Amino acid sequence: MKYCQKNYTSKTKLFADSLIVNAASLIEKSFFFIANIIIARYLSIEHFGEYSTALSFATFFSIMTDIGINVTLVRALNLDSKHQNQHFTNAFVVKLVLSALMYGIMAISLFFVGYSRDVIYLTLILGMVRIGNEFMKTYYAVDEARQKFLFPSLVNSIYVVFFLAGIATVILYKGNYYHICVVRLVIVYLFIAFLSVYTLRKFTFSFNTELFKKFVISAIPFSIITVLWNFAFRINVIILSIITGTTSVGIFSNSLIFIDTLSIIPGNLRRITMPVLYKALQKNDNNRFQFAFDSMSKYFSILSFYIMILLYDSPAKRSGAKLYFKKINKYNRN
């Protein structure tokens, strides 16, 4: 009876956290989608291609500043909470060093890709923006490690509202893509300042060499996955910009929005279940792993079923199929 009650409580907690995180992700993706459409309509095709190229290039290098740091921090705070100050210091130091290193590599690599001066300047600005976004995720990971998802979800939702408002302000005053990038930069670092004050009240910087080595070693498996995923998903945009130019990148990047949106579903579930499973690992509670597996299996089964229906019977697919068969029939007649 006690186990059933505990299991019910876990399901309720999982459902509540899932609702909060997915609602915040829906707000984030919706506002970024709207902002992207507004920017695409406001800028010319050439300028939007340059903007998309700079953003994609900056994103590719900024993701390398994580390489599993956030996941390792969540793991460390759950499995070794008594050294939480040291683990937070380790994550902060590694993130800071990687940010400086990757930004430098990105800046140097811009000399070899043949981009225009405008694209290079935009990339340097957006590089700081995207690295700032990765720092925000590290701050979020601190609360998520303790299964407190409301605050990071709320802050991130407010952030995207400010982002959309900043874009609207630039357009209202007839600005260009430089102004859009600078507005993004200002908003990101205002939120980083707020999150720094909020997070650093909970920790004291404390460095331990042995714990630092263990932290870095434990991050290696996660870093390999991050790097491989980044190359598989992000490198194609950079290659396309080098081969065909920056104009086509804007069109191609828009087509990736739908795939990127679907990726939030497994990503959110990972964020929710990871702290639960690490706590279970610490307490040797093997039943919790089975519970997580059963819950996620049901979750994915329901979602995949409705996504399949949506994709299989969508108006876009029907119109695309009609156009395809129309071309085939025309070809056969000829």
The answer to whether 142 touches 73, Cβ cutoff 8 Å, is yes
Q: Measured between alpha carbons, how far is 25 from 155 in angstroms, rounded to an integer?
A: 12
pLDDT of amino acid 101: 93
pLDDT of amino acid 277: 60
Tens digits of per-residue pLDDT, 19-76? 777 777 778 878 888 888 888 889 888 888 889 889 888 988 888 888 788 888 888 8
The Cβ of residue 63 has, within 10 Å, a number of other Cβ atoms equal to 20
pTM above 0.85, yes or no: no
Q: Measured between alpha carbons, how far is 205 from 253 in angstroms, rounded to an integer?
A: 40
CA angle 233, 292, 296 (to 5 degrees): 50
- For 260-283, b/e burial (b = at least 16 CB within 10 A) is ebeebbeebbebbbbbbbbbbeee
pLDDT band at 206 (very low <50, low <70, confident <90, very high): confident
User: Between the CA of residue 268 and those of 4, 241, 265, what are the distances in Å?
Assistant: 26, 31, 5
The answer to whether 295 touches 14, Cβ cutoff 8 Å, is yes
Lowest mean pLDDT among 117-131, 155-169, 201-215, 272-286: 272-286
Which is higher by pLDDT, 298 or 126? 126
Tokens of 295: 């819950």
Mean pLDDT of the chain: 77
Whose tokens are 């043949």? That residue is 114
- E strand or H helix that includes residue 235: helix 209-244
Lowest mean pLDDT among 55-69, 90-104, 158-172: 55-69
Query: Is residue 316 scored above 50 in pLDDT?
Result: no
The answer to whether 131 touches 102, Cβ cutoff 8 Å, is yes
- Give percent above pLDDT 70 in the chain: 70
**Chain centre to alpha carbon of residue 99:** 16
The Cβ of residue 228 has, within 10 Å, a number of other Cβ atoms equal to 10
DSSP output for 183-199:
HHHHHHHHHHHHHHHHH
Q: Measured between alpha carbons, how far is 205 from 159 in angstroms, rounded to an integer?
A: 27
